[in-house]
Chain A
Amino acid sequence: MPTMIKKDDKAMEPPNEKPHRKIERDDVPESSNHIPPPESGVLKGGKVNSKTRALKAVTSIIADADENPQKKVNNETNGVQKQKTEDLSKRIGKFEYLFYKFLLVLLYICFGSFRYGQYQYHKMKLRIFSIIYNHAYTPQLIRQDVIPLKKIPKRLAAILEVKPVGDVGGGVTGLLNDASEIVCWTVSAGIKHLMLYDYDGILQRNVPELRMEIHSNLAKYFGPAHVPNYAVKIPHSNKIFYNLDGIETETDVGNEIEANQEKDKIAIEISLLSNRDGRETIVDLTKTMAELCAVNELSVSDITMDLVDSELKQLVGPEPDLLLYFGPSLDLQGFPPWHIRLTEFYWEKDNNEVIYSVFIRGLRQYAGCKVNVGK
């Protein structure tokens, strides 16, 4: 088996770097590709979703009453002819239909106000949490928080997203800052692998900036003299960058000190993932396998779970143990599907910032601690 895998590897690389497919992706306005699930889509909307707007939206379903029933009738006549009786009742029940619409709007309004209360409650909780869990830019404190836990994940993944440029912590700089903060926490907690996912691959495109940002943030936490070694990896293009190698910095002092340390001892490995590593990679793998089978280098019976798994491990990375999401309601955004088999999810309801309390509470959940401070 291992010999075959090696062969496969060689063949695996070209499809990832085919230029034409990349161009195909670039000309599409990328952020518009992803349609979030309703709840998180609405909650992330920010100012657009005022209460009055929600009310308008909810009441608007009465206005377009004419579209829906016709569609439904059409479907049913297409489907089963025996159900004519039901059609009849529907035609008679125009008044009834309107009544149910009003009732639904009423239900929506009730639910909406309940949800609003819940939203405020969650926000309050988050504020309390952010007082209780505070890292104060001190890695020792983070370690102190982690030590009582029974276990910590081996590999951590986090889904990040770009916020509108006008918001606090928005735009690409905000994203880079969030990413580097998470890196610092992960290093301090003693976790060796981190996967950062963002749908559009913005992190992958701004690797030099990201490395600078991570470096300066680590310097903030650990002091400029003791910046831990880190490696930034892009599995998709198979590149690894160490620390600040190859980047010219203003002060070369930091670089010299690092050169003195042992280079091979890396405190954290950060891999950057994007939507490209999800479905597309699996389909690409299928294509490659099909090509290999066509030239008789591989037979269909050789395609086993182990082979696919090892290939995807090489192309994307191993399965993370804990996935943190910093949005208001769970939205996986196309995170590589093969890799979330047993992954534990953690997110904080109605939270929309990258904050330390989500990180540490996520670790607590993973450890199976039922101690909820602040409740």
Chain B
Amino acid sequence: MKMPSIIQIQFVALKRLLVETKEQMCFAVKSIFQRVFAWVMSLSLFSWFYVNLQNILIKALRVGPVPEHVSFIMDGNRRYAKSRRLPVKKGHEAGGLTLLTLLYICKRLGVKCVSAYAFSIENFNRPKEEVDTLMNLFTVKLDEFAKRAKDYKDPLYGSKIRIVGDQSLLSPEMRKKIKKVEEITQDGDDFTLFICFPYTSRNDMLHTIRDSVEDHLENKSPRINIRKFTNKMYMGFHSNKCELLIRTSGHRRLSDYMLWQVHENATIEFSDTLWPNFSFFAMYLMILKWSFFSTIQKYNEKNHSLFEKIHESVPSIFKKKKTAMSLYNFPNPPISVSVTGDE
């Protein structure tokens, strides 16, 4: 009875070895590809071409209809780090970088407002180490953004940043910092960035309910309606129209984000790529799609095809009129004859 068990053990070991070598190979091939790709991208001619193509595409889309409020659920940073065998921190850093580049593109497209789900209240349940890294990263990025928003030469110049969410969960220093940054960028009118930092949509609704009740108690405002309620939410009047919500990394749920904003007439796009890999072209295609269909929708609403226009403008004299006529005034039909020959 011992023999088969030994063979079995060896089999298992062999299998494991095979799987591991396969993984190693895959990883090696992948990294080589990545390196080659990076090398090609770094060629000056190619990068010149790429940048120009991007510019032209952006300028073209800009002249059409563009969503006013685009929102991102940045999912997949950890999986990205795992797949590249990097520490989790690197994954989050890469995610931050992606957000900044996409922000820049959105701004140039003429999008008025972008919001991003940076940190959920539920995320406090993650290991403390990771939460701390995220907090640190966030402060660093916040400073960077504030600096760039004030820099006249920078593409992000003239943008406003707002941190929304339940800030009572943050440390006092953090809150002070957030306040400072919000004040610095206050007068940016072109473009608003909402960072949802400790945010969940239910919390947002709860906070709005509380605020509405308090308002009602204070000044006895008699009516609370949907519009007023919406304006009281964290994102103000931007709450009502989030045209495009993009969620990466394959999950098909909202995970407590933007429920109120998105549950009516918003386009929700799900993408299978991980957030750090979410590229310019993927987003461009989504916005192009939105733009394409909203052009057709607008056209259908207006309902003015050229033919209809002409038809309407022609005076009614020239159109054939149906005149009412008695049945007995019609010309006589042919003789009716039965097949059986009866009279």
Contacts and interface: CB of A to CB of B under 8 A. Distances in A.
Interface of A: 34-39, 41-42, 45, 48-49, 53-54, 56-58, 60-61, 68, 72, 76, 79-80, 82-83, 97, 100-101, 103-104, 107-108, 111-112, 115, 278-280, 282-283, 285-287, 289-290, 293-294, 300, 303-305, 308-309, 329-338, 340-346, 365
B292 interface: yes
A344 B217 contact: no
B299 interface: yes
A28 to B, nearest CB: 14
Interface string B298-316: 1110000110000000000
A254 to B, nearest CB: 40
Contacts, number: 180
A39 B295 CA distance: 10
- Per CB-CB distance, the 4 closest pairs between chain A and chain B, nearest first, are A57-B299, A38-B293, A290-B216, A38-B294
Most buried by A among B62, B263, B298: B263
Contacts of A80: 158, 189-190
A168 to B, nearest CB: 22
Interface string B164-189: 00000000000000000000000001
B93 interface: no
Contacts of B224: 283, 286-287, 290
A308 B204 CA distance: 12
Contact of B289 (A100, A111, A283): A111
Contacts of A340: 254, 259, 263
Contact of B63 (A49, A83, A100, A293): A100
Interface string B203-220: 101101110111011000
A330 B268 contact: yes
Interface in B250-277: 252-256, 259-260, 262-268
Given A286-B229, A303-B213, A337-B263, A56 B63 contact: no
B253 A337 contact: no
The interface residues of chain A, by DSSP majority, are classed as helix
A42 B296 contact: yes
B58 to A, nearest CB: 10
A61 B119 CA distance: 40
Contacts of B292: 58, 108, 111-112, 115
Interface residues of B, number: 60
Contacts of B84: none
B56 interface: yes
Contacts of A293: 213, 216-217
A42 B300 contact: yes
B212 A58 contact: no
Contacts of A37: 243, 265-267
Contacts of B212: 286, 290
B40 to A, nearest CB: 25
Interface in B20-79: 56-57, 59-64
A303 B300 contact: no
Nearest to A43: B293
Interface in B130-164: 152, 158
B263 A58 contact: no
Contacts of A34: 264-265
A293 B212 CA distance: 11
Most buried by A among B62, B254, B255: B254
Given A103-B56, A107-B288, A279-B264, 17 more contacts: A37-B265, A49-B296, A49-B300, A56-B299, A72-B110, A76-B190, A104-B64, A111-B288, A115-B289, A286-B229, A300-B210, A303-B213, A329-B267, A332-B263, A337-B205, A340-B263, A343-B253
Contact of A39 (B158, B229, B254, B267): B267
A72 B226 CA distance: 30
Given A290-B212, A332-B263, A39 B206 contact: no
Given A38-B296, A283-B224, A342 B255 contact: yes
B263 A365 contact: no
B214 A300 contact: yes
Nearest to A330: B268
A275 B266 CA distance: 15
Contacts of A342: 253-256
A60 B299 contact: yes
Nearest to B216: A290
Contacts of A68: 63
A53 B294 CA distance: 14
Contacts of A337: 201, 205, 259-260, 263
B59 A56 contact: no
Given A42-B297, A108-B292, A289-B213, A53 B305 contact: yes
A287 B293 CA distance: 38
Contact of A308 (B206, B214, B225): B206
Contacts of B259: 337-338, 340-341
Most buried by B among A37, A41, A97: A37
A283 B226 contact: yes
A76 B57 CA distance: 22
11 contacts: A38-B267, A39-B289, A57-B298, A61-B63, A101-B63, A107-B61, A290-B224, A305-B203, A330-B268, A338-B202, A345-B268
Nearest to B220: A294
Contacts of B296: 38, 42, 49, 53-54, 57-58
A277 to B, nearest CB: 12
